[in-house]
Amino acid sequence: MTPPDDLVSVLIWLLFLGLAALALAPLGLALLRPVRLTGRREADLALYRAQLAELERERAAGRLDEGAHRAATLEVQRRLLASSDAGGQSHGGRGAAVLAALLFLVPALGFGVYLQRGNPELPAAPYVERAEAAARDDALMTQLRARLEQVPAGSETARQGWILLGNAERGRGRWEAAAAAWRRALEARFEGPLAAELAELLIEHGGLDEAASLLARALAAEPEQPRLRYLSGLGEARAGRTENARATWRALLAQAPADAPWRALVERRLQELP
């Protein structure tokens, strides 16, 4: 006797739930270990090494070719370079408890939602629906921008609003809109990390002169900040000023700790210079 379709669907999702539990098992084991407070830099290094090890496993298994592996490694190093160098402690007790709860709640919640609303026969959203969703997003962004225009320009509320709007626009792939929003935030109050975000975005899309101006201003306040120095060299390289880029990156490497996890990124950029 053939089981009903609903029963088959439930059995399939029970199987998926079991697979999800297996996938999350390493996290559960990690949460059972004694909590140890670590500094921000040590935590960043541990995360960096874990990500690199995972990339190596993917390459060894044949799921990543050399080009994709190299690009992913560079991205991991770039993200670490962008992270704050400030010290600090991570509080493990409460965070571990929350993660432990999520370890079981997330798969269960997903399964429960599917039982209530799931429909395996539902077709993919057609182009018209996706276009309508994009139009709604555009309308929302326009509305948010209009509201921000009503907020006092130099206020902290306006600055935070423009930053969030820029983040949203960048996530949608609208780099020009993101850049415009971040410029407004910097007009309210200039700060190095946001200047670096905008400069990197501009460098990626050819806005080299504006990026150089932003980086020069940020470096005047934080001359030893590694990300600002790296981006300064990147801008010089993209502008064809190879010797300037080489000098900038060599100086950065000379002053960097021997175990700085972003050293490989800067060294690779140096090797790529003509």
pLDDT at 261: 85
What is the sign of the dihedral through the CA atoms of 116, 140, 206 and 233? negative
**Per the structure block, which two tokens stand in for 110?**
């997903």
**Per-residue pLDDT reduced to its tens digit, 205-255:** 999 999 999 999 999 999 999 999 999 999 999 999 999 999 999 999 999
**Per the structure block, which two tokens stand in for 121?**
């026969």
**Which whole number is the average pLDDT over 147-166?**
86
Map residue 39 onto helix, strand or coil.
strand
The full set of domain ranges for the chain reads 1-37+91-122, 39-88
How far are the Cα atoms of 42, 49, 89, 90 from residue 36, in angstroms, in the given order? 12, 18, 10, 9
Do the Cβ atoms of 159 and 191 come closer than 8 Å?
no
**Per-residue pLDDT reduced to its tens digit, 61-96:** 666 666 666 666 666 666 666 654 444 444 445 555
Do the Cβ atoms of 44 and 83 come closer than 8 Å?
yes
How far are the Cα atoms of 133, 223, 248 from residue 258, in angstroms, in the given order? 49, 20, 17
Radius of gyration of the chain (CA): 24
